[in-house]
Amino acid sequence: MSQIIQEIIQQQKIKEHILTEVVGHTLEITFNRPEFHNAFTVGMYVMFQEYVLQADKDPNIYQILVKSNGKSFSSGNDLRNFDVWPGLNDEERKQASLGLTNMLRDFTSSFLNLTKPIIACCQGGVIGFIFPLLSIFDQVYVTEDTYFFAPMLLFGQGVEMFSSYTFPRIFGQGKTFSLLFRGQKLSAKEALHFGYAQEIFKTQDEMIKKARQICQQLEQQDQSAINHGKKLIKRAIYDQLKTSNEQELLNLERIWSGDKLVENVFNYMSRLKAKL
C-alpha cells in the first residue's frame, strides 16, 4: 500500500467513528459519525473490515448486526477523502490509486468471504458505496423513510461493490440503468418489492428490536448448519461476484489515476449547489 494511503488511514482510524458491542453472540457494529451523516473516511473502511474479519474468526460470535446513529444510515464516501489528490504529481497519483484499490480489494474480500450471517438495519439515506455493498448482506431491514441512492457515475466514478453483477440480478437491466447511470433513488417500498430489503418498520427502535430478536433466534440454531448453508448458497455465484468486483476495482484504479477525478467531483458538487 502506498505511503500516502497508509498515512491517511492512520490519521482517520478514529475508534469513536465505528462503535462495537457484543450482545449475546451477536457483534453489533454501529456507524457513529452522525454529524456527517455517517460518511465514510478511508480509516472507517479499514476499521469496518477489521471488525468483520475479527467476528468471522471468533467462535463466540455467530452473526453481525450493522446499524448507525443519526438520521442517515450512511451518506457513502466522505468526498474529503480525495482532498490530497490535487497536490499529487502523476506518479504519486498512480501510487495512491493503486494503494486505494488494494485497500478496497481487501475490504470487499472480507464481505465476499464472510461465513457468518450479516444483517443491516437502515434508516434515512443509504448513499454511495454502501447501497451496492448491502446487496450481498443476508438481510436488510429498513424504516419507512429509508431511500437508496448511488450517485457514483454522476460524478465520473465507476460501478463498485459487486453492483455490476448484483444489481442486474436484483433489479433487472432497465432499473439498474436508472439507479446507476441516471441517479434515480430507490424507496423503501421499492427495495422490499425487488427483494433487496426484507422488512419495513415504522421506527428505528422497532427495527433494531426485531433484528435483535432474529439474531437471538439464529443463536438457538445449529451454527455449523447455518455457516455451511451460507457457503453453499454463495458458492453458486462466488466466482461471478469475485470476477465482477475485480473488474470494477481495475476500472476505479484507472479513473483515480487519471487527471479528471477532481474536476468531475467539483462539477458534480457545482450541479448540486445549483439545484439548491
For 65, phi and psi rounded to 5 degrees? Answer: -120, 120
Cα of 230 vs its chain's centroid, Å = 20
Average pLDDT for 113-139: 97
Percent of the chain with pLDDT strictly greater than 70: 95
Question: Is pLDDT at 81 greater than 90 in this prediction?
Answer: no
Confidence at residue 268, expressed as pLDDT on a 0 to 100 scale = 65
Question: Is pLDDT at 173 greater than 50 in this prediction?
Answer: yes
Residue 123 identity (one-letter amino acid): Q
Confidence at residue 124, expressed as pLDDT on a 0 to 100 scale = 98
pLDDT in tens, 30-55: 999 999 999 999 999 999 999 999 99
Percent of the chain with pLDDT strictly greater than 90: 78
44/252 Cα distance (integer angstroms) = 19
| Cβ proximity of 265 and 79 under 8 Å | yes
What the block records as the C-alpha cell of 69 is 446513529
Question: Is pLDDT at 62 greater than 60 in this prediction?
Answer: yes
Confidence at residue 213, expressed as pLDDT on a 0 to 100 scale = 98
Confidence at residue 182, expressed as pLDDT on a 0 to 100 scale = 95
Confidence at residue 40, expressed as pLDDT on a 0 to 100 scale = 95
Average pLDDT for 78-100: 82
Which CA distances in Å does 239 have to 22, 112, 113, 131, 133? Answer: 32, 10, 11, 21, 17
pLDDT in tens, 181-227: 999 999 999 999 999 999 999 999 999 999 999 999 999 999 999 99
Question: Is pLDDT at 276 greater than 50 in this prediction?
Answer: no
Confidence at residue 210, expressed as pLDDT on a 0 to 100 scale = 98
Q: Which residues contact 237 (CB under 8 A, 6 or more apart)?
A: 165
